[in-house]
Amino acid sequence: MYSYDTLYQIFSSHLEKQSFSSNPKELYEPIVYSLSQCGKRLRPVFTLMACDLFNGDIEKALPQALAIELLHNFTLIHDDLMDQSPIRHGKETVFKKWNPKLAVLSGDALFVLAYNYTLQADIYKLPKILNIFNKTALQACEGQQLDLNFEQRKNVLLDDYLEMIRLKTAVLFGASLKIGALVAGASEKNMRLIYDFGINVGMGFQLKDDLLDLYGNEEVFGKRTGQDILENKKTYLFLKALTTADPKTKDILLDYFHEKKLPKEEKIRSFKKIFNELDIERLTNDAICGYLDKGMEKLDQIELPEDRKQPLRNLAQTTINREK
């Protein structure tokens, strides 16, 4: 069994061998720039790890891992534009470094490149791979639209938010694993179990993002905390606070949320004070652990020796327990 570190290096090396430079160079430069920002590569590594789990040849899964990584970067380029986010991984986002029109066009080209990699599969497995890829890409768009809708909606329920992050974030985790399992020839039952494992890890991953945005160590986190509050995002923390607070505290929270003249630091302090009083950090951690436990239950049901499942178990725990 391969470790995360080994698969990360194998994937990164394979990615570096790909050529994404072409003409017109203005179209492809943002693609190269986006792919050069080395993150954790969780999704493509999950694809390789799932393939390895079911005794598959990871070389055959590399094109699908690339497709997953390119699809993920496509969503990031477009999401950053729609959210008007100027920074990602400490660098300017594509629309900020170039312009919005090029961000749309380069993102579209990136999606097509991702699709091309999915085609590099066993002809008998290709229809199922394409079905998973297409469904996941469409769900990501649906999740982004829900996120945009929430910016205008006054009343967003906690369940609405959880469905949004399932579509926008978690399904790509599930698809990454399912495609890797499919390449390896796993059974339908095991593909379903590994997909559900990924969904739950993805849900916990996003809730941890929400938590770190306010409670993370800035030196470790790598950026200023409290940005979600300043951008008036309806995160899990905010929505959980609304469901937990008494009517008076709820009204205060909503007043802070809609207050536009409150100084930035004061706004962050005010929200954090209420969140601390409502024990939101603990409640969010409980929810994160709940998703991790559900994911592990799915992994437990896969009828393989425990030592084969341990790398996936370790990566899931590391992902959920991360500090940045």
d(CA 221, CA 243): 28
Please determine, for residue 1, whether its predicted confidence score (pLDDT) is greater than 90.
no
What are the tens digits of pLDDT across the range 164-193? 999 999 999 999 999 999 999 999 999 999
DSSP letter (8 states) at residue 304 = S
Which CATH number characterizes residue 200's domain?
A: 1.10.600.10
For tokens 């100027």, name the residue.
Answer: 86
Please determine, for residue 90, whether its predicted confidence score (pLDDT) is greater than 80.
no
- Over residues 229-249, the mean pLDDT reads 95
Return the pLDDT at 217.
Answer: 79
Return the pLDDT at 87.
Answer: 81
Q: What is the band of 83 on the pLDDT scale with cuts at 50, 70, 90?
A: confident
Helix 4-17 and helix 42-53, axial crossing angle in degrees, nearest 10: 120
What are the tens digits of pLDDT across the range 270-291? 999 999 999 999 999 999 999 9
Most confident region among 37-46, 86-95, 199-208 by mean pLDDT = 199-208
Over the Cα atoms of the chain, what is R_g? 20
What residues make up the domain containing 279?
A: 4-320
pTM of the model: 0.95
| DSSP string computed for 96-150 | HHS-HHHHHHHHHHHHHHHHHHHTSS-TTTHHHHHHHHHHHHHHHHHHHHHHHHH
Q: What is the band of 222 on the pLDDT scale with cuts at 50, 70, 90?
A: low
How many domains, the chain? Answer: 1
Please determine, for residue 307, whether its predicted confidence score (pLDDT) is greater than 60.
yes
Give 143's contacts (C-beta < 8 A, 6+ positions apart). Answer: 164, 165, 166, 167, 168, 169, 171
